[in-house]
Amino acid sequence: MRSDAERTVRAILEAAERVLSRNPAASMEQIAEAAGVARTTVHRRFASREALVDAMIGWATRRFAAAVEAAHPESTPPLVALYQVTANVLRVKIDWGFAMSRALSSDPEVAAVHSAVEERCRRLFLEAQTAGVVRADVDLEWARRVYYALIHEAAQSQNGDADAMATRLVDTLLRGVGTEKGLG
């Protein structure tokens, strides 16, 4: 795709994310207006509203995978990688909330990307456990599910910047919210 066509598609995708986040029933015309292009341009690039949403999901999913990759979880100390993955993923989930909320699509490419990210997360948690960042007696599957839930909730709240939310989230994951006295 030529660079101007790529910019147009990106502008449409970004506008669609903004518009559909505010109004999931928004029309293609409203999306075109927000993108600063003619409705025919949107229809030329995306045959239907469903095709546009599918493209948004694909775009957001690739950004999600790139966010994890950018943290270099295989070559960075586990605690640093966990923090960086968290901050990066929160940025994508906040910026692409509408698309990411629909990312569990039937598209095999999207499913493959999510599966690969999940495997990287599984390895990161195992490495964190091996390094002593996560207790040896912790069920890593449960810990990952809690981690995913914390990310989801943090992205929904959108309170503060991604770095501050990542720090709070990782601290909550690793230290919990109780005290030793509460276990007694």
Q: How many angstroms separate the CA atoms of 97 and 152, rounded?
A: 10
Q: Are the beta carbons of 170 and 89 closer than 8 angstroms? A: no
Contacts 24+ apart (CB under 8 A), 48-53: 52/12, 52/13, 52/16, 52/28, 53/16, 53/20, 53/99, 53/102
Interacting residues of 33 by C-beta distance below 8 A, sequence separation 6+? none
Q: Has domain 1-46 been given CATH number 1.10.10?
A: yes
Q: How many angstroms separate the CA atoms of 123 and 71, rounded?
A: 14
> Tens-of-pLDDT digits for all 184 residues of the chain?
578 888 999 999 999 999 999 999 999 999 999 999 999 999 999 999 999 999 999 999 999 999 999 999 999 999 999 999 999 999 999 999 899 888 666 778 888 998 999 999 999 999 999 999 999 999 999 999 999 999 999 998 867 789 999 999 999 999 988 877 765 5
**Continuous H helices in the chain:** 3-22, 28-35, 39-45, 49-70, 78-95, 97-101, 108-130, 140-157, 162-175, 180-183
Q: Where in the chain are the domains?
A: 1-46, 53-176
Candidates 65, 61, 80, 37; CA nearest to 174 is 80
- Angle of CA points 63, 67, 70, to nearest 5°: 130
Q: Note the pLDDT of residue 182.
A: 63
pTM listed for this prediction: 0.87
Q: Note the pLDDT of residue 79.
A: 96
36 token code pair? 């600063």
* Range 53-176: architecture per CATH: Orthogonal Bundle (1.10)
Q: How many angstroms separate the CA atoms of 160 and 166, rounded?
A: 10
Q: Note the pLDDT of residue 111.
A: 87
Q: Note the pLDDT of residue 110.
A: 86
Q: Note the pLDDT of residue 77.
A: 96
Q: Note the pLDDT of residue 21.
A: 92
Q: How many angstroms separate the CA atoms of 144 and 86, rounded?
A: 12
